[in-house]
Amino acid sequence: MQIGYPVLSTVIFLPIFGALFIFLIKRTSEAFIKWTALLISLITFILSVPLFTNFDKTTAKMQFTEMHDWVPSWGIKYALGVDGISVLFVLLSTLLTILCVTVSWKGIKEKTKEFYAALLLIEGSMIGVFASLDLFLFYIFWEAMLIPMYLLIGVWGGPNRVYAAIKFFLYTLVGSVLMLVGIIVLYINTGKTFDILQMMTMNYPYNMQIILFWAFFAAFAVKVPMWPVHTWLPDAHTEAPTAGSVILAGILIKMGAYGFLRFNMPLFPDAAKAMAPVMMILSVIAIIYGGIICLAQTDLKRLIAYSSVSHMGFVTLGIFALNTQGIQGGILQMINHGIVTGALFLCVGIIYDRTHTRQIADYGGVATVLPIYAAFFMVFTLASIGLPGTNGFIGEFLIILGGFTASKTLGVLAASGIIIGAAYMLWLYQRVFFMETNPKVQGYPDMNMREIITIVPLIILVLWIGIYPNTFLSFMDVSVQNLIDRINAVGLAQTAQQVIEVSR
């Protein structure tokens, strides 16, 4: 489907060119810099809305496509498009960027120009990752966000920001290099093309699928992050500024799970089926491990960071259940996690701007001092737990259903993670908002209008998805079924390999 302008190129390059424009503004014009960043992010979101309103839910084909030869001699194209899986992440990216700009309005006081430029560069790169239909172009966008995100943590982060930024950079870089090797091998074995859709029509030898599966897995598992390559995430979240944490939780870690859906499963279906039990076991470990570690945390951001490890464990469990319920639940839970955990980091940033502490022990009785803030935090707490009526419920329900269908044992173990999640989130809420009022929180003002406007869109989404999830599930129905059909097709490569082994 097409509309009157190249919507994907527009929403990718508008924030990128906006970042370059911000670099040209005088450093002393701080207010103008902020308003420019807000205007660019707002226009980008508005221009991305037609992706939602004009999307054809009846087809699995890529829509809003843009195809141009870039380097024909190398088989490289400028190819963009979205399907029912990727379109939702483009919209989430444009929405959360607006909220990142507004929440940073008062909190970022140094190098304002560079901060907002980095934020817009990250936005353009993220959208490029979700929209790329050329593997070379995908890799460029994948790597392009590494430097601005590194700077976001390393320049505007907390006391240990340099350590956290370097750790994030090295983990991501190592995984990306292994994926690059896999991309080169694919390129050589596909008639020298980077066209992702063309690659999906090919059947690769089983042994090659296994090797390439792990090469791509290295990059995506680090980004999710899956256990045991998750240790960069708590440090990055803890030290990052609020906007950095929102971007990390809301979008960046979703790119890893998206990579599984876009590459590992359709390109290497035989390997995906063979490795699915291993992936599900790692996912269940992440669910339980992340939840138990949350119970021991004393820092607000660190607790929410480890909760992301647990929640993303649910996502990968659903994806590698390799059935419709699991994959749909995994995709929806990626959206839900971006909304809820992004909102929780926004809420932590709001109270941190007042108290300048993230230690849970420094709070207590906040509900009596900041009642509006307490009410908003409660909504997101219940959504994180997965209370029916909130967006967290339907995603987890579908994942557990899909996981139980694939493995009853792993399904039951994963369900125990929901109980652990309720324990650490409710305990967190009790310690921060109830109990005796800590004198350290006395006298602080409740949420102002800017903060309320920042949070309300996420409240609406929490309730909208919770009450009527089919609005979003309907986008992915056909695309998920197409992916399932691809995975369940006759595994020619694996069958051929088995015949060869028997004949020997």
Q: Is residue 485 part of a domain?
A: yes
Query: What is the reported pLDDT for 502?
Result: 35
Q: Which domain holds residue 156?
A: 7-503
Q: What is the pLDDT of residue 450?
A: 87
What per-residue confidence (pLDDT) applies to 498?
Answer: 45
Indicate the length of the chain as a whole number: 504
Q: Give per-residue pLDDT as tens, 185-230.
A: 888 887 778 888 888 888 888 888 999 999 999 999 998 888 888 8
pLDDT score at 79: 92
Q: Is 204 inside any structural domain?
A: yes
Inside any domain, residue 202? yes
Higher pLDDT, 27 or 77: 77
Q: How far is residue 11's CA from residue 91's CA, in Å, rounded to a whole number? A: 10
Q: What percent of the chain has pLDDT over 70?
A: 96
Residue 428 lies in a domain: yes
Per-residue pLDDT at 112 exceeds 60: yes
Phi, psi of 338 (to 5 degrees): -60, -40
Half-sphere exposure of 337 (CA within 13 A, CB side): 32
pTM tops 0.95: no
Whole-angstrom distance, CA of residue 286 vs CA of residue 284: 5
Tens of pLDDT along 472-487?
899 898 889 888 888 8
Residue 477 lies in a domain: yes
Total number of domains constituting the chain: 1
In this structure, is residue 1 part of a structural domain?
Answer: no
- Residue that has been written with the tokens 């809301």 in this structure: 250
pLDDT of residue 495: 46
Q: How far apart are CA 18 and CA 123, in angstroms?
A: 11
User: In a 3-state reduction of DSSP, which class is residue 67?
Assistant: strand
Strand-pairing partners, residue 82, are 63
Confidence class of residue 8 from pLDDT cuts 50, 70 and 90?
very high
pLDDT above 70 (res 323): yes
Q: Is there a domain that residue 2 lies in?
A: no
